[in-house]
Amino acid sequence: MLPRRIQALAETGRRCVAVDAGDYHALALTDEGEVYGWGHGFASGHGNDLRTPQPQRLAALAGERVKLVSARGSSSCAVTENGELYTWGCSGFNLGHGVDSPQQTPKRVEALRRAKVKVATAAICDTHTLVADKDGVVWGFGKRAALGLGDAVPPWVSQPTPIPTTRAHPSVSCQ
């Protein structure tokens, strides 16, 4: 019932610079841009639906230097210093991969890459994900109504879509 140090993270020798947590999982970001995940299911990012009781480095992000992590519900995302967005978890359309199926490990959102979008920041939740690029354009995918796009059919936006009524503050940058 009292806060205590997470020994497995302390033993890495790295300093944690950010943490976030969903319903049954958590993420930690180190000063070296490494991401550690633990908890239940796909959202922890280790490629299975099993419980990961101790923080473990996400192998799928090895070689990437991550600058931001976000976790909500049963979904997670990470933004790299190169402006790439990776998502994973049990949800579907809020991951931005164009399909309504779980993603067991971090996977780059290719539609943003193809559009040459450099992601500055991102936030994920159970039903949708919002991304701001380095130019202040806000992109979204997931539940249409949660993105402010109305209740049209289909109710989900499966690919990253610019949100025309929203802009990010100019101080948001990839640097």
Phi, psi of 82 (to 5 degrees): -85, 5
User: Is there a domain that residue 2 lies in?
Assistant: no
What's the pLDDT score for residue 167? 81
Per-residue pLDDT of 10-66, as tens digits, reads 998 999 999 999 998 999 999 999 999 999 877 788 887 778 889 999 999 999 999
Check if the beta carbon of residue 10 is closer than 8 Å to that of residue 4: no
**Which CATH number do you get for residue 38?**
2.130.10.30
Query: Number of helices (H) and strands (E), helices first, in the chain?
Result: 2, 12
pLDDT higher for 80 or 93?
80
User: Is there a domain that residue 173 lies in?
Assistant: no
User: Is there a domain that residue 175 lies in?
Assistant: no
What's the pLDDT score for residue 77? 96
Check if the beta carbon of residue 75 is closer than 8 Å to that of residue 126: yes
User: Is there a domain that residue 35 lies in?
Assistant: yes
CA 61 to chain centre: 12
Query: What domain range includes position 119?
Result: 7-167
User: Is there a domain that residue 138 lies in?
Assistant: yes
* Global confidence as pTM: 0.92
Reported as half-sphere exposure (CB side, CA atoms, 13 A), residue 64 has a value of: 24
User: Is there a domain that residue 172 lies in?
Assistant: no
In the numeric block, which tokens belong to residue 70?
A: 């976000």
Closest CA to 88 of 101, 72, 106: 106
User: Is there a domain that residue 174 lies in?
Assistant: no
**H or E stretch at 9:** helix 7-10
Say how many domains are in the chain.
Answer: 1
